[in-house]
Amino acid sequence: MRELAQRHGTPLYVYSAATLAERFAALRAAFGAAAHICYAVKANPNLTLLARLHRLGAGFDVVSGGELLRLQAAGLPTDGVVFAGVAKQPWEIAAAVAAGILFFNVESPHELPLLAAAAAGGGRPVRVALRLNPGVDAGGHAYISTARTDTKFGIGLPQAGAVVEAIAREPRLELCGYHVHLGSQVRQVEPYRLALDRVCEFVDAAAVRREGITHYDLGGGFGIAYGQGEPLDVAAVAAAVLPTLTARGWRPVLEPGRHLVGDAGILVTAVLGEKRQDHTTFLLVDAAMNDLLRPALYQAEHPIVPVVATPLPPRAVDVVGPVCETGDFLARQRPLPPLPRGELLAVLGAGAYGASMASNYNSRCRPAEVLVDGDRAQLVRRRDTLPQLFQNEVDLHEA
Ligand SMILES: Cc1ncc(COP(=O)(O)O)c(C=O)c1O
């Protein structure tokens, strides 16, 4: 790790190809060969990781035209792509129709005329699944809980019947499935079972809701441990939903993001110094909320460990970065030993929603990213350069 940090600098994201492959294999074993596992690109959209996941057998879940373009830029097939998103734009729909994706997850009635127009332009019907909002609270932080009826996601069951009928009336659209995404970092099996039960109840209420249905997309959200408690038991989720899906002839579609890449990544950061203020000891490091937003945004806790173990006794410290926000912390009151300047810390479980949510706030460069595969370490994203941060800004002399 020291060598990688020396070669590429810090903060640095480091990913493990072995963990990625292990996680994918476990999900495949749980859900079987028939399941279509669509990696949620938003979790980490690095092109090399996308190519790796494709080689492992993944399709992809995208939520924007930009994510679709990433797949195309990586030269990956798009016929196994599902496209969700509550506010899809006309150009995104047109691009996905042209790319021949597997289906759209429709979650707002405004999409239907756009989809029909794109289908007319493409000269063939477009396959859609309806994203239902089953009103299930799957726990976790409110910002990542998506299947309660007070969120913007999906179509509530009382309104969904009319949307199914509108799709059935439009000859250029084919209803092929239903989609539910409960939210992220779900640790209980029960919400997956409950959501499927509610969808079945909805579907059984009218023949038009059943015709042509071939897929059930149970979304992603499979929780990981982040050093506390247990990860979601994916085999138990499979056991809870597969008998119903098999009986109905619906192919399972999964959209895991965090579960595949979260534990496959760490963020390596160097100690800059230490300061004591009032009753708090602050360990100052070179990674900040712009590199890893989750602690500031969701009060998320990531395990943090010294890269080289030290015998010195730990004391509680706030691990904070250089960004000018009180909310800029990686951890609060975390037991860590005293560490001299330049010593490295690893923030664990940082592969998902780490690099993908990184920003240039405070005019900071987003970190470099490295993929380790056996004894090979490959740079898969260069660190931003400072001139890149303002290269799109208007010419000062013309403004
Ligand atoms: C529609 C959809 N599918 C899948 C995911 C992936 O979630 P996770 O990374 O928790 O598996 C998300 C995350 O926000 C999502 O919105």
Tokens of 9: 């600098």
CA of 63 to the centre of ligand 1 (A): 9
Distance CA 355, CA 110 (A): 32
- The end-to-end CA distance of the chain, in Å, is 46
Q: Is the CB of 182 under 6 A from ligand 1?
A: no
- For position 148, what pLDDT does the model report? 67
Residue with tokens 């759209």: 104
Q: Is the CB of 237 under 6 A from ligand 1?
A: no
CA of 394 to the centre of ligand 1 (A): 36
Q: Is the CB of 349 under 6 A from ligand 1?
A: no
Q: What is the 3-state secondary structure (H, E, C) of 315-327?
A: EEEEEECCCCCCC
**Amino acid at residue number 46:** N
* Helices 17-31 and 234-248, packing angle to 10 deg: 40
3-state secondary structure at position 140:
coil
- For position 9, what pLDDT does the model report? 98
**CA distances (Å), origin 271, targets 10, 57, 230, 268:** 10, 39, 30, 10
pLDDT of 7 higher than 90:
yes
If we measure between CA atoms, which residue out of 144, 289, 150 comes closest to residue 223?
144
- For position 144, what pLDDT does the model report? 60
Q: Is the CB of 40 under 6 A from ligand 1?
A: yes
CA of 144 to the centre of ligand 1 (A): 9
The ligand 1 atom nearest the CA atom of 221: 10
Q: Is the CB of 67 under 6 A from ligand 1?
A: no
Mean pLDDT of the chain: 95
3-state secondary structure at position 139:
coil
Q: How many helices (H) and strands (E) does the chain have?
A: 12, 18
The ligand 1 atom nearest the CA atom of 256: 11
Residues 6+ apart with CB under 8 A from 349: 224, 225, 226, 227, 262, 263, 265, 266, 302, 303
Q: Is the CB of 219 under 6 A from ligand 1?
A: yes
Mean pLDDT computed over 15-30: 98
Q: In the chain, what percentage of residues exceed pLDDT 70?
A: 97
Tell me the pLDDT tens digit for each residue of 316-363. 999 999 999 999 999 999 999 999 999 999 999 999 999 999 999 999
pLDDT of 295 higher than 90:
yes
- For position 86, what pLDDT does the model report? 85
Q: Would you place residue 399 in the very low, low, confident or very high pLDDT band (cuts 50, 70, 90)?
A: low
If we measure between CA atoms, which residue out of 235, 174, 200 comes closest to residue 28?
235
Distance CA 138, CA 341 (A): 42
Secondary element (H or E) of residue 82 = strand 81-83
Domains and CATH numbers, the chain: 2-11+263-384 (2.40.37.10), 17-261 (3.20.20.10)
Residue with tokens 């303002």: 390
Among protein residues, the one with the nearest Cα to ligand 1's atom 5 is 220
**Amino acid at residue number 115:** L
Q: Would you place residue 64 in the very low, low, confident or very high pLDDT band (cuts 50, 70, 90)?
A: very high
CA of 209 to the centre of ligand 1 (A): 25
Site to substitute for ligand 1 among 42, 104, 106, most atoms within 8 A of C-beta: 42
| For residue 11, cis peptide bond before it (omega within 30 degrees of 0) | yes
| 176 flagged as catalytic | no
pLDDT of 102 higher than 90:
yes
3-state secondary structure at position 20:
helix
**This prediction's pTM:** 0.95
Least confident residue range of 119-133, 195-209, 385-399: 385-399
Site to substitute for ligand 1 among 104, 255, 294, most atoms within 8 A of C-beta: 255
- For position 167, what pLDDT does the model report? 97
As to burial, measured by CB atoms within 10 angstroms (0-12 exposed, 13-18 middle, 19+ buried), residue 376 is exposed
Higher pLDDT, residue 125 or 146: 125
- For position 151, what pLDDT does the model report? 78
Site to substitute for ligand 1 among 181, 216, 260, 353, most atoms within 8 A of C-beta: 181
Catalytic residue selected from 38, 176, 324, 365: 324
CA of 180 to the centre of ligand 1 (A): 10
If we measure between CA atoms, which residue out of 88, 102, 162 comes closest to residue 132?
162
Tell me the pLDDT tens digit for each residue of 172-193. 999 999 999 999 899 999 999 9
Mean pLDDT computed over 226-232: 94
Q: Is the CB of 215 under 6 A from ligand 1?
A: no
Distance CA 262, CA 144 (A): 15
**CA distances (Å), origin 215, targets 86, 197, 333, 399:** 20, 15, 46, 53
The ligand 1 atom nearest the CA atom of 85: 1
Distance CA 74, CA 69 (A): 8
CA of 221 to the centre of ligand 1 (A): 5
CA of 345 to the centre of ligand 1 (A): 28
Among protein residues, the one with the nearest Cα to ligand 1's atom 4 is 220
Distance CA 385, CA 298 (A): 28
Q: Would you place residue 396 in the very low, low, confident or very high pLDDT band (cuts 50, 70, 90)?
A: confident
Mean pLDDT computed over 107-125: 92
pLDDT of 373 higher than 80:
yes
Q: Is the CB of 85 under 6 A from ligand 1?
A: no
β-pairing verdict for 280-285 and 315-320 = parallel
